[in-house]
Structure 1
Amino acid sequence: MSAFATLILAVQMLTALAMIGLILIQHGKGADMGAAFGSGTSGSLFGASGSANFLSRSTGVLATVFFVSTLALAYLGNARPVSTGSVLESVPVPAVTAPAAPAVDSTIPVAPVQGAEQVPAK
């Protein structure tokens, strides 16, 4: 695997892990509804509504980087190399020849077929 493909694969894995973390940190749409009825505070590290904008934009950027790296890996995986440097590419292919006809041995006695003329042996 080329160094460029390895770098893209590392970027993709780090992006996937960061996206998983960001998605797990975010609040669901129904989380604020419970806070409105007094079941807890909706404030978090970023404040009441400040985290939604930052986390959703960060997730969108990471998703874009993830999809671009996925497309790049697909393109690099589908590209056909000019030569693999294999030893087998330089081996000539032998010509296929038909096998020789088996030799007829005249010393083996053959039973005569009924209704056929008998030819005297030489």
Structure 2
Amino acid sequence: MLETVVVVIHLLGALGVVGLVLLQHGKGADAGASFGSGASGTVFGSQGSATFLSRVTGILAAVFFITSLGLGFFAKEKSDALTEVGLPDPAVLEVQQSKPAAGDVPVLEQQKSAVNPADVPAVQESGK
């Protein structure tokens, strides 16, 4: 339950940070405001918009980082719980599956001798 809440907050924070970064103007946009581009007539005033959006972006970025740490904690707790139950660690299991031991691979009797001389056709030489 708590993990679901953290995931929802994490996703909303990420979307909020992306949206607020896209709403903000770059450093070069301030030069146009001094020549009357209409930035001084905004709801927040001439400088209020930049500081308000910057503060909210910073707060949402902090929320995003905190929820990232929380999700990492939940992942570690789940991994520890799986280990306590007796299930193998997923990383160790992957390594074991990728490198089979020589004794684990069954060898059929037919595979031991790759070429049977009776199966090879004889070459007939043509007289020239």
TM-score bucket (shorter structure): 0.5 to 0.7
Residue 28 of structure 1, CA deviation: 1.1
Residue identity matched to 2:51: N
Q: Which moved more, 1:21-30 or 1:61-70?
A: 21-30
TM-score by length of 2: 0.57
Residue 35 of structure 1, CA deviation: 2.7
Q: Does 1:73 align with 2:75?
A: no
TM-score by length of 1: 0.60
The whole-number CA distance in structure 2 between the counterparts of 1:45 and 1:23 is 18
Instruction: Give 1:93-108 correspondences, 5 Å limit.
Output: none
Q: 2:43 aligns with which of 35, 45, 69?
A: 45
Aligned length: 82
Question: 1:28-84: CA deviations, max 9, x gaps?
Answer: 11101123245x222223121111111111111110010000011011102211438
Residue identity matched to 2:85: S
Q: Which moved more, 1:26-35 or 1:76-85?
A: 76-85
- Corresponding residue of 1:14: 12
Residue identity matched to 2:69: L
Residue 19 of structure 1, CA deviation: 1.1
- Corresponding residue of 2:85: 83
Q: Which one has a bigger Cα radius of gyration?
A: 1
Unaligned runs of 5+ in 2: 88-128
CA RMSD of aligned residues (A): 1.9
Identity %: 44
| SS in structure 2 of the partner of residue 7 of structure 1 | helix
Q: 2:60 aligns with which of 59, 62, 75?
A: 62
Q: 2:27 aligns with which of 17, 23, 29?
A: 29
